[in-house]
């Protein structure tokens, strides 16, 4: 391989830790702003989910805009963003082996990139929290492209940045339709980390460190 690309959520980032971070965030808001009784976490998640469900096709919808919409529903004013960023920084975790494999691959003679549906600032903040932001040669986000995976534009943009050919570029993802099938349609080699089985899966990773053997 001449290039290897990682998704963030579910691959580099432990998705369960994001749910814990959201719980911590709402708990901190409740303490700081004396939210009304009820279930503010459920309300916040429902409104955030509605924001993303209103997306048409592979249209990009900003997570930041969704957070703001959900916060408005809770009636919270003030500097909620610093509360949110603190909760994430102190709670999110990388998946096992993620930091090790990124740091190791950064020493290889290949292009190391990210292809993720996150907001650009949020993606960089996550990578910086894990201490690996500077290890990547390119970061391609849906905010930048205006589309989400499996839209071909996501993979085409990343491949242009890497200046590598698709069949020598590996995509590591956890969602079959978005990451694996999308990358395969773009001509890339695929490695499924937790994704379901399907004809687009070239390799399956039980541990992210196994990606080292593929490159």
Q: Same domain for 64 and 114?
A: no
Domain boundary among 65, 91, 117: 91
48 touches 131 (CB < 8 A): no
Angle at 122 between CA 117 and CA 128, to 5 degrees: 115
Q: Same domain for 200 and 99?
A: yes
26 touches 44 (CB < 8 A): yes
Structure tokens given for 30: 């409740």
SS3 content of the chain, % helix, strand, coil (to 5): 55, 15, 35
Across the chain, what does the average pLDDT equal? 95
Q: Same domain for 9 and 45?
A: no
Taking residues 94-112, what's their average pLDDT?
97
Q: Same domain for 143 and 210?
A: yes
Q: Name, in order, each residue with C-beta under 8 angstroms of 25's C-beta and a sequence gap of 6 or more.
A: 83, 84, 87, 88
Res 151: pLDDT: 97
Res 76: pLDDT: 85
pLDDT tens per residue, range 18-40: 999 999 999 998 888 877 767 89
Q: Same domain for 25 and 125?
A: no
Q: Where are the beta strands (DSSP E) in the chain?
A: 3-6, 111-116, 138-141, 169-173, 189-192, 203-204
Q: Same domain for 163 and 133?
A: yes
CATH of the domain at 186: 3.40.50.1000
Res 105: pLDDT: 98
Residue 203 reports pLDDT greater than 80: yes
Global pTM reads 0.94
Show the domain range for 42.
16-91
Res 37: pLDDT: 62
Taking residues 62-86, what's their average pLDDT?
91
Res 195: pLDDT: 81
Residue 10 reports pLDDT greater than 90: yes
134 touches 109 (CB < 8 A): no
* Rounded Cα–Cα distance for residues 113 and 210 (Å): 17
Res 78: pLDDT: 80
Q: Same domain for 116 and 157?
A: yes
Q: Same domain for 59 and 164?
A: no
Q: Same domain for 131 and 209?
A: yes
pLDDT tens per residue, range 135-173: 999 999 999 999 999 999 999 999 999 999 999 999 999
Taking residues 82-96, what's their average pLDDT?
95
Res 31: pLDDT: 84
Taking residues 3-15, what's their average pLDDT?
97
Decide: residue 42, CB within 10 A, 0-12 exposed, 13-18 middle, 19+ buried.
exposed
Structure tokens given for 202: 């070239």
* Rounded Cα–Cα distance for residues 88 and 22 (Å): 8
State how many domains the chain has.
2
């Amino acid at each position: 391989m001449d290039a290897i690309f990682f998704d963030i959520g579910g691959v580099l980032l432990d998705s369960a830790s994001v749910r814990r971070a959201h719980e911590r965030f709402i708990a901190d808001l409740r303490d700081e702003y004396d939210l009304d009784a009820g279930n503010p976490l459920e309300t916040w998640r429902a409104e955030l989910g509605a924001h993303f469900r209103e997306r048409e096709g592979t249209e990009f919808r900003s997570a930041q805009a969704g957070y703001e919409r959900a916060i408005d529903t809770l009636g919270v004013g003030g500097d909620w963003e610093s509360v949110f960023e603190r909760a994430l920084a102190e709670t999110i975790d990388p998946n096992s082996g993620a930091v090790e494999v990124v740091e190791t691959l950064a020493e290889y003679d290949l292009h190391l990139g990210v292809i993720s549906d996150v907001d650009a600032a949020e993606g960089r903040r996550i990578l910086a929290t894990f201490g690996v932001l500077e290890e990547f040669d390119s970061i391609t986000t849906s905010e930048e492209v205006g589309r989400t995976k499996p839209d071909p534009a996501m993979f085409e943009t990343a491949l242009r940045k890497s200046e590598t050919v698709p069949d020598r570029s590996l995509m590591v993802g956890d969602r079959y339709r978005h990451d694996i099938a999308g990358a395969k349609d773009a001509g890339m080699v695929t490695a499924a980390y937790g994704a379901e089985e399907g004809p687009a899966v070239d390799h399956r990773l039980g541990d992210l460190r196994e990606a080292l053997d593929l490159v």
